[in-house]
Amino acid sequence: MAAGDRVRGNQRRRVVVTGMGVISPVGNDVDSFWKSITEGRSGIGHITRFDASAMRTRIAGDVKGYDPGHYFDRKDVRRLDRVSQFFMIAAREAMAQAGIAYDPDDEAAARSGVVFGGGFGGMESFTEEIRILDRRGPDRVSPTGIPKIIINMSAGLVSIEHNLLGPVTCVVTACSASANAIGDAAEIIRRGAADMMLAGGSEATITDYGIAGFAQARALSSRNDEPERACRPFDADRDGFVMGEGGGALVLEERDRAQARGATILAEVLGYGMSADAYHITLPRPGGTGAARAMKAAMADAGIDSSEVSYINAHGTSTEANDATETAAIKLALGDDAYRVPVSSTKSMTGHLLGGAGAVEAVASILALERSLIPPTINLDTPDPECDLDYVPNQPREFSGDYAMSNSFGFGGHNVTLVFGSSGVGNKEG
Amino acid sequence: MDRVEIESRLRDVLVSELGLDADKINTAANFEQDLDVDSLGVVELLMAMEDEFGVKIPDDEAEHIHTVGEAIELVHTKLNA
């Protein structure tokens, strides 16, 4: 019996990944993203998108050399907040890799959908519209403002562009949103409501309000003089996260159909675990019991035990609270295996993509399995006694293994863990 | 302002602000049928005209603007009233 079937006596539909897409501060497509994170390159720099000179935090990870005109018509781009642009770009790459292109009349189109995960939606558009409202009055706000702002529109836009006429929804759980999106999309396929789902998320909040708001919550690093060294998960001198922007998308398919059409299986979505800290609006529950339950639930859903986990892509934000708590949670969830399993935080290079983080880190986890190489946690110079696991410091590491876990924890106490199986697992008969 | 100048400035607004295709813009062009402007786009168009020419176009007058030529006429009437 394959891992995905182990938990339940009856046959359950299996969900595989057949396409991936990324746009990030370290690369505007999957290949350049992977190259950067395996070379330990940081995408963090001084903020240039707006005048951040009055801010406590003046650094962020923006998408480099981004020209919307390269991807969208002038007429269309006016209606697209940056957050939607990012998700649409990632979705295009994923669909192209999967080799899927539907006409609206195709039967398969009605059996395909989208789940988008995001934190804020069109923040930049929202703040622009409020400014217009204040300065010029209600009859000067844009008729397309509301559509640009609402968080679900990114899902709608992708369904429009790719003719996906089945379940199209959106999940909003802050920094775990796009991890939830992938899990929820897999569940939609498992219960038979769709055969293909485009799942992922994005965020674009490097704006004056975005930075000011998080800075005031004391969540952001203020290592403004050394941007590339600011995001230092698990390091003793970490002082907060660095905001990133971008998005990721996975094409998920029911496994038998994917094989029947000759798709290349990149990985299998094996486990989806969720829990709530039920503790504080921003701080994790001390001791990591909440996150540990999500990890255990994901392993149980995948039908694996901790001895089989080969890599954990940590939430690893570089905040004092998260990194210590996540370390404790990994120990609770994995027991003795916690000291064996390599754990790395790719946020050390990309920054924190908030609602888009889960999807981008899912791509990193799947690539790690596919290429047998773990991207490092960079800037890990001084170990913190509370963070004493193997975080793959500073250099990538070759490994072999079949199961990777990805953690995403959001403000509000949302804990989400996904377990991915390698393509070897995905291709194995149940 | 004469019609020629109105047309020239309107053309600029349609191309640069609404992203319409310059080659398709002429006085006979119908916004919805020829220039692919949807209902939201029509509102954007009217707002852009109000901003560009400093006029107000209430909904009951806006209902009658279907072509570039009709837009030019309406602006001309308001500016020369």
Answer whether A285's CB lies under 8 Å from A297's CB.
no
Facing A73 at nearest CB: one of B19, B40, B43: B19
Closest Cα of chain A to B51: distance in Å?
9
Residue A1 binned pLDDT confidence (cut-offs 50, 70, 90): very low
For residues A59 and A236, give the distance between their C-alpha atoms in angstroms, rounded to a whole number: 20
How many residue contacts between A and B have a Cβ separation below 8 Å? Answer: 21
The residue among A117, A315, A289 whose CA lies nearest residue A234 is A315
What confidence tens digit (pLDDT) does each residue in A170-215 have?
999 999 999 999 999 999 999 999 999 999 999 999 999 999 999 9
What confidence tens digit (pLDDT) does each residue in A29-43 have?
999 999 999 999 999
How much of chain A exceeds pLDDT 70, in percent? 97
Averaged pLDDT for residues A154-173 = 98
Predicted pLDDT of residue A8: 46
Q: How many CB atoms lie within 10 A of CB B36?
A: 12
A142–B19 CB contact, under 8 Å: no
A143–B18 CB contact, under 8 Å: no
Report strand pairing: A59-60 vs A45-46.
antiparallel
B44–A140 CB contact, under 8 Å: no
B44–A142 CB contact, under 8 Å: yes
Residue A10 binned pLDDT confidence (cut-offs 50, 70, 90): low
B37: domain CATH number is: 1.10.1200.10
For residues A35 and A221, give the distance between their C-alpha atoms in angstroms, rounded to a whole number: 26
Predicted pLDDT of residue B17: 87
What confidence tens digit (pLDDT) does each residue in B64-73 have?
999 999 999 9
Predicted pLDDT of residue A6: 47
B40–A140 CB contact, under 8 Å: no
What confidence tens digit (pLDDT) does each residue in A306-331 have?
999 999 999 999 999 999 999 999 99
How much of chain A exceeds pLDDT 90, in percent? 95
Which tokens go with A210?
A: 């975005």
Facing A144 at nearest CB: one of B20, B36, B44: B44
A142–B18 CB contact, under 8 Å: no
Averaged pLDDT for residues A87-101 = 99
Averaged pLDDT for residues A111-132 = 98
Facing B40 at nearest CB: one of A74, A139, A143: A143
The per-residue pLDDT of chain B, averaged, comes to 94
The answer to whether residue A7 scores a pLDDT higher than 60 is no
The answer to whether residue A391 scores a pLDDT higher than 80 is yes
Q: Which residues pair with A418 in a beta bridge?
A: A272, A406
What per-residue string of b and e applies to A99-134 under the rule 16 or more CB within 10 Å gives b? ebebeeeeebbbbbbbbbbbbbbbbbbbbbbeeeee
Residue A11 binned pLDDT confidence (cut-offs 50, 70, 90): confident
pTM for this entry: 0.96
CA dihedral A183, A185, A188, A192 (to 10 degrees): -110
Residue A426 binned pLDDT confidence (cut-offs 50, 70, 90): confident
Answer whether A420's CB lies under 8 Å from A310's CB.
no
Catalytic site residue A170? no
Predicted pLDDT of residue A269: 98
Q: Which residues pair with A46 in a beta bridge?
A: A59
Residue A118, Cα to own-chain centre: how many angstroms? Answer: 9
**What is the ipTM metric for this complex?**
0.91
Residue A430 binned pLDDT confidence (cut-offs 50, 70, 90): low
For residues A337 and A307, give the distance between their C-alpha atoms in angstroms, rounded to a whole number: 6
Predicted pLDDT of residue A328: 98
Answer whether A47's CB lies under 8 Å from A211's CB.
yes
The per-residue pLDDT of chain A, averaged, comes to 96
What confidence tens digit (pLDDT) does each residue in B50-66 have?
999 999 999 999 989 99
What confidence tens digit (pLDDT) does each residue in A229-264 have?
999 999 999 999 999 999 999 999 999 999 999 999
Asked if B19 reaches chain A (Cβ–Cβ under 8 Å), the answer is: yes
Chain B partners within 8 Å of A143 (Cβ): 40, 43-44, 47
Chain B partners within 8 Å of A75 (Cβ): 18-20, 36
Total domains in the fold of chain B = 1
Report strand pairing: A246-254 vs A414-422.
unpaired
Closest Cα of chain A to B58: distance in Å?
11
Q: How many CB atoms lie within 10 A of CB B80?
A: 9
Facing A144 at nearest CB: one of B19, B20, B40: B40
For B17-71, give the secondary structure using H, E and C: HCCCCHHHCCCCCECCCCCCCCHHHHHHHHHHHHHHHCCCCCHHHHCCCCEHHHH
Answer whether A99's CB lies under 8 Å from A181's CB.
no
What's the domain range around B39?
3-79
What confidence tens digit (pLDDT) does each residue in A261-283 have?
999 999 999 999 999 999 999 99
Averaged pLDDT for residues B16-30 = 93
Q: Is A282 exposed, middle or buried (0-12, 13-18, 19+ CB in 10 A)?
A: middle
Q: Which domains does chain A have, with CATH numbers?
A: 3-423 (3.40.47.10)
Closest Cα of chain B to A144: distance in Å?
7
